Structure 1
Amino acid sequence: MVVLKTTYLEKVYGEGEVKVEALKDTNLEIYKGEITVIIGPSGSGKSTLLHLLAGFDKPSAGRVYINGEDIKEMSEKKLAQFRRKNIGFIFQFFNLVPTLTIEENIKLPLFFDKEKIDEKYIEDLMKVLHIEDRRRHLPSEISGGQQQRTAIARALANKPAIIFADEPTGNLDKKNSKEVLELLRNSVKQFNQTLVMITHDPEVATYADRVITIEDGTITSDLRRN
């Protein structure tokens, strides 16, 4: 089942001599339950693509469909609501609220929509990610690896159709990187989520079902690992 689709997606910055084609004529289909890693060097267009897929930026041309809905046609208010219900985003720098506890940070997306919180699901997330004993701590009181696990739990908390991750191990050492990637893969599989992750680290690609390589704004390779 296709949960995300792009058609002729493009992003251009500037005009004339300063014109930069950050993303060129990109067509993609991402399937439910699939872990996709988008790999490429700095400046290749992978961050641009991720932000377009998540609705954080508007394309210059083309369309993005999530669960069959064209997000380009949505108003800012509707798009914000749609993202909260359908998308989880894991930021490279965690973006946790320093004055909230770990448990409160995880539940934050649910508070915005005043939804009934599935306490058992949140509890299961914290257990899978090994942060249940840190629930009352503030972000400043836990390690970087635990903060990233909290960011992962927050991204999963609203049971989104698709999760986007922006260099989720970029600020972690090798040991914590491996642990977070394994926990992320296991939790995504356990809760039947779909993950799209960007990285410049080839080792991260070993955790994927599918590896897409992007260079100079163009997809140069699209390989499934199984």
Structure 2
Amino acid sequence: MEILKTVNLCKAYGSAEARIEALKNANLSVNKGEFVAIVGASGSGKSSLLHLLGGVDRPTGGQVIINGVELYTKSEEELALFRRREIGFIFQSYNLIPVLTAEENIKLPMLLENKKADENYVEELMGILGLTERRRHLPSELSGGQQQRTAIGRALINKPSIILADEPTGNLDSKSSKEIVDLLTFSVRKYNQTLVMITHDINVAQRADRVVKIEDGLLLQQKEADGH
């Protein structure tokens, strides 16, 4: 069942001779429960694509449809609400709040919604993330891998339909990278979520159900990963 779709998605920056087309007529379809890796050289348009999929940036043309909802017909306020409820973001830089504990950082999206977190779900997440013993630690007291696991918990706390991850293992060593991808694939399967991940790491890409290559703003071959 299709959960995410783009139709002739375009993004350009600048104008006249300075105009750069970051994305050109991108058509992508992702099914519910699928893990899609997006690969390509720096400057190929990967991050532009991910930001458009997540409603962070507005396209120059085309559509992004999630769960049957066309994102860019919404106002900024509606879009912000939709993002918080339907999409979980994980970035290379963990973007944790330094004065909040690991547990408080994970619960932050719920606080923004003025909702009380489901404590049973928080406990379950903490266990899966391996953070039960570190819940009261500040980000500065956590390792890089623990900070990234905290960021993943924050992305999962609202039980979003789609997880968008931008180089989530980029700052980690190979052991921590494998643990993070293990964790993401496990949580996506367990909670029947969809994962779209940008990565430079071929080992990470091979764990995906499908690899999409992007080059100079064009989506190229979309093939099953070697491990499938």
Give the TM-score taking structure 1 as reference length.
0.98
Partner of 1:11: 11
Once the two structures are superposed, residues 151-201 of structure 1 have per-residue CA deviations (whole angstroms, 9 ceiling, x without a partner) of: 011101100010100100010111111111111111111111111000122
> Which AA in structure 2 matches 1:160?
P
Partner of 1:212: 212
Partner of 2:46: 46
Partner of 2:102: 102
> Which AA in structure 2 matches 1:218?
L
Q: Partner of 2:56: helix, strand, or coil?
A: coil
2: CA distance between counterparts of 1:44 and 1:122? Answer: 37
Question: How far 1:7 moved relative to its partner?
Answer: 0.5
Partner of 2:169: 169
Question: How far 1:125 moved relative to its partner?
Answer: 1.1
Gaps of 5+ in 1: none
Q: Where in structure 1 do 4 or more consecutive aligned residues deviate above 2 Å?
A: none
Question: How far 1:115 moved relative to its partner?
Answer: 2.0
Question: How far 1:15 moved relative to its partner?
Answer: 1.7
> Which AA in structure 1 matches 2:79?
L
Question: How far 1:221 moved relative to its partner?
Answer: 1.1
Question: How far 1:224 moved relative to its partner?
Answer: 2.2
1:148 corresponds to 2:162? no
Give the TM-score taking structure 2 as reference length.
0.97
Partner of 2:179: 179
> Which AA in structure 2 matches 1:28?
L
Partner of 1:222: 222
Once the two structures are superposed, residues 44-100 of structure 1 have per-residue CA deviations (whole angstroms, 9 ceiling, x without a partner) of: 101100000000100000010111111101111111111110010001100000000
2: CA distance between counterparts of 1:115 and 1:70? Answer: 26
Question: How far 1:116 moved relative to its partner?
Answer: 3.2
Range that drifts further, 91-100 or 186-195: 186-195
Instruction: Check whether the contact 1:44–1:215 (CA below 8 A) recurs between aligned residues.
Output: yes
Range that drifts further, 22-31 or 117-126: 117-126
2: CA distance between counterparts of 1:126 and 1:208? Answer: 24
> Which AA in structure 2 matches 1:34?
E
Partner of 2:62: 62
1: CA distance between counterparts of 2:130 and 2:207? Answer: 19
2: CA distance between counterparts of 1:33 and 1:49? Answer: 20
1:83 corresponds to 2:87? no
Partner of 1:72: 72
> Which AA in structure 2 matches 1:184?
L
Identity score, percent: 60
Q: Partner of 2:206: helix, strand, or coil?
A: helix
Partner of 1:196: 196
> Which AA in structure 1 matches 2:24?
K
Partner of 2:2: 2
> Which AA in structure 1 matches 2:21?
E
Gaps of 5+ in 2: none
> Which AA in structure 2 matches 1:147?
Q
2: CA distance between counterparts of 1:33 and 1:160? Answer: 12
Query: How many pairs does the alignment contain?
Result: 226
1:26 corresponds to 2:17? no
Instruction: Check whether the contact 1:98–1:139 (CA below 8 A) recurs between aligned residues.
Output: yes
2: CA distance between counterparts of 1:66 and 1:85? Answer: 12
> Which AA in structure 2 matches 1:79?
L
Question: How far 1:21 moved relative to its partner?
Answer: 0.9
2: CA distance between counterparts of 1:201 and 1:46? Answer: 14
Q: Partner of 2:150: helix, strand, or coil?
A: helix
